[in-house]
């Protein structure tokens, strides 16, 4: 709020306040009782108090830091000098003089968007104090010598989590927007926020699962994932969807999309205006998509190779029965791309060349530089995950969702804490966040294989490092023409890592780098006119050399890909009606597998 502006004050209704507090008390008591009962039955006291090894990492960091007191003293003096400058400039502002800020938030930092953070001298001081402390803490931690790479990354990651959590925007008394709202509503925002908090605890059965959107505003198959099509085949692990054509003729060679099973396929089919699937259909592709099952304990023993046999290879057989076409063009997204590459190696060993071109969206094959997700991959944490999966038969989808949300904590955690709990607002309906919260489970056998062999040991990049169906996987044997699409700000599959993976194949490779991140970099329809992408006819060994000599093009990369894949279309045929194919229709798209929600 501006310094001389007094907001209207609303006195709370004592009757309504009493009723609200009674509801909150009753709900809180029930939740606490259920939580304690569950903890007792789980034998929580016998568990490792630090299963993720965070405390051990920080102990090692502290020991190293204290071994160089001169360096620590220098860092403290730098912080003291910064604070002295801040106090001087704040005093100038209190006396009505102009003063340049000592530090300013990043342009994309939305925590301090309220005008009072700049206009009000006190809140400006709070903001700058926090930013100075945050910069000092992170630079000091990053400057500690002698830590191994994994420990250093873990310390840096969890330091950032602490710094983000302690932001003044996350607390009632140091957030001007929250204070203003509290005065204007007579505290109704905090009461409403407490009700939201308890509702989220109840939804998570004692664990806090922050609501990111209005879940009642969306329904799969009704207003998202609505591109017309039919389920024409299924296995225990996937349903195969064939989409209804919108052009008189279609490419003779079908397009098979292999999405990740960490999330549901309909990230590529949220709404008509941003649906990659709808756009591909409109370009004349005969589109098939694998919709993965949301597994339960019955599928605990399904392994990575089962996803190959009952997923990709089963889909190829089914597509041939439906269309009469033996060959396909294929797309793999993220983990789906990792599976597609592994399958291509398996098929090469079997002299099976049914996949004539392969496209990889944000796909890692070489996990040497696995990004921030590698923070969660060490023996301590893998043992903990495997212990949890052994009890349930799968990894709970909420665990995976929390991990991904921590990579962007300010956007995907703390912004909702402020909106839902401090401001007392209802979450805004947003299809992308609905998809993000539509978690999927991971079968125990598959997930353990994936984490250990790829993330921890990086065996997929090594010839014969892993075997599927008794066949040693060697990505060097893949000669299929390939298109790699990566995203420059991708925190999940860092583009320099995906670039390393593109060098593992022996066939021709086209590498394209999109602006933005893991989702927005991929889901960027041409009509939106957003972002840009980079191309390069050459594929030098170093990613920086590739970028330095690349050409930037404004807008979406989708047409670039379509021009490339169209060279493998094998001509045109009359449009294929899913209802008149070689296999009976099982149900309408998006199918029953995509509709299973675990929350």
Active site residues per annotation = 334
Please answer whether residues 343 and 460 qualify as being in contact, where contact means their C-beta atoms are separated by less than 8 angstroms. no
Pick left, alpha or beta for residue 344 (phi over 0 → left; psi -120 to 50 → alpha; otherwise beta): alpha
For residues 319 and 332, what is the distance between their CA atoms, to the nearest angstrom?
A: 16
Written as one string, the DSSP assignment of 213-265 is S-GGG--BTTTBS---EEEEEE-SSEEEEEEPP-SSEEESS-EEEE--SSS-G
| Strand pairing report for 482-487 and 509-514 | parallel
Read off φ and ψ for residue 236, nearest 5 degrees.
-65, -25
What is residue 84's three-state secondary structure? helix
For residues 312 and 317, what is the distance between their CA atoms, to the nearest angstrom?
A: 9
In this structure, what is the dihedral angle of CA atoms 185, 187, 190, 191, given to the nearest 10 degrees? -100
Written as one string, the DSSP assignment of 288-324 is EEEEE----GGGTT--HHHHIIIIIIHHHHHHHHHHS
Please answer whether residues 443 and 416 qualify as being in contact, where contact means their C-beta atoms are separated by less than 8 angstroms. no
The encoded tokens of residue 307 equal: 């996803």
**Helix segments in 43-68, DSSP class H:** 54-66
CB atoms closer than 10 angstroms to residue 71? 14
Read off φ and ψ for residue 78, nearest 5 degrees.
-60, -45
- For 368-391, letters b (16+ CB in 10 Å) and e give eebbbbbbbbbeebbebbeeebee
CB atoms closer than 10 angstroms to residue 519? 18
Between the CA of residue 138 and those of 123, 156, 443, what are the distances in Å? 22, 7, 37
**Helix segments in 393-441, DSSP class H:** 397-406, 409, 415-416, 431-437
| CA pseudo-torsion sign 41, 42, 44, 47 | positive
């Amino acid at each position: 709020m501006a310094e001389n502006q007094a907001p209207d004050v609303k006195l709370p209704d004592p009757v309504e306040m009493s009723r609200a507090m009674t509801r909150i008390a009753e709900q809180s008591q029930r939740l606490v009782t259920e939580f304690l009962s569950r903890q007792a039955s789980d034998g929580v006291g016998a568990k490792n108090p630090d299963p993720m090894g965070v405390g051990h990492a920080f102990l090692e960091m502290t020991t190293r830091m204290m071994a160089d007191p001169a360096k620590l003293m220098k860092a403290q003096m730098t912080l003291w000098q910064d604070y002295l400058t801040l106090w001087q400039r704040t005093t100038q502002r209190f006396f009505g003089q102009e003063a340049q800020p000592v530090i300013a938030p990043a342009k994309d930092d939305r925590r301090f968007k309220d005008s009072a953070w700049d206009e009000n001298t006190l809140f400006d001081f709070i903001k700058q104090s926090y930013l100075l402390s945050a910069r000092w803490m992170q630079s000091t931690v990053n400057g500690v010598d002698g830590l191994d790479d994994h420990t250093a990354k873990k310390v840096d990651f969890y330091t950032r989590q602490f710094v983000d959590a302690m932001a003044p925007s996350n607390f009632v008394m140091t957030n001007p927007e929250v204070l203003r709202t509290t005065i204007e509503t007579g505290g109704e925002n905090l009461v409403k926020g407490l009700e939201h908090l308890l509702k989220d605890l109840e939804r998570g059965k004692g664990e806090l699962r922050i609501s990111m959107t209005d879940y009642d505003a969306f329904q799969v198959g009704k207003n998202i994932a609505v591109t017309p099509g039919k389920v024409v085949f299924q296995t225990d692990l996937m349903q195969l969807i064939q989409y209804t054509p919108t052009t008189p003729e279609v490419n003779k060679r079908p397009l098979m999309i292999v999405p990740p099973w960490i999330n549901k396929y309909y990230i590529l089919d949220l709404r008509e205006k941003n649906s990659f699937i709808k756009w591909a259909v409109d370009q004349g592709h005969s589109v098939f998509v694998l919709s993965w099952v949301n597994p339960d304990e019955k599928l605990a023993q399904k392994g990575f190779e089962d996803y190959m046999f009952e997923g990709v290879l089963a889909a190829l057989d089914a597509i041939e029965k439906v269309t009469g076409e033996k060959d396909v063009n294929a797309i793999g997204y993220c983990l789906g791309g990792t599976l597609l590459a592994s399958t291509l190696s398996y098929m090469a060993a079997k002299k099976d060349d049914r996949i004539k071109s392969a496209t990889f969206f944000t796909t890692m094959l070489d996990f040497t530089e696995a990004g921030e997700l590698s923070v969660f991959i060490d023996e301590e944490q893998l043992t903990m995950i495997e212990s949890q999966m052994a009890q349930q038969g799968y990894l709970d989808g909420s665990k995976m969702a929390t991990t991904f949300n921590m990579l962007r904590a300010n956007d995907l955690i703390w912004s909702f804490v402020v909106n839902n709990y401090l401001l007392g607002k209802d979450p805004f309906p947003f299809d992308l966040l609905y998809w993000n919260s539509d978690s999927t489970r991971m079968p125990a056998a598959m997930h353990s294989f994936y984490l250990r062999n790829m993330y921890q040991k990086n065996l997929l990049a090594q010839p014969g490092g892993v075997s599927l169906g008794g066949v040693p996987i060697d990505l060097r044997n893949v000669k299929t023409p390939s298109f790699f699409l990566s995203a420059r700000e991708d925190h999940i599959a860092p583009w320099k890592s995906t670039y390393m993976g593109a060098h593992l194949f022996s066939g021709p490779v086209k590498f394209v780098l999109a602006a933005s991140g893991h989702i927005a970099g991929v889901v960027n329809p041409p009509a939106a006119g957003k972002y840009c992408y980079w191309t390069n006819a050459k594929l030098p060994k170093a990613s920086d050399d590739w970028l330095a000599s690349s050409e930037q093009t404004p807008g979406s990369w989708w047409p670039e890909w379509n021009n490339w894949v169209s060279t493998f279309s094998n001509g045109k045929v009359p449009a294929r009606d899913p209802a008149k194919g070689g296999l009976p229709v099982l149900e309408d798209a998006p199918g029953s597998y995509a509709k299973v929600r675990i929350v």
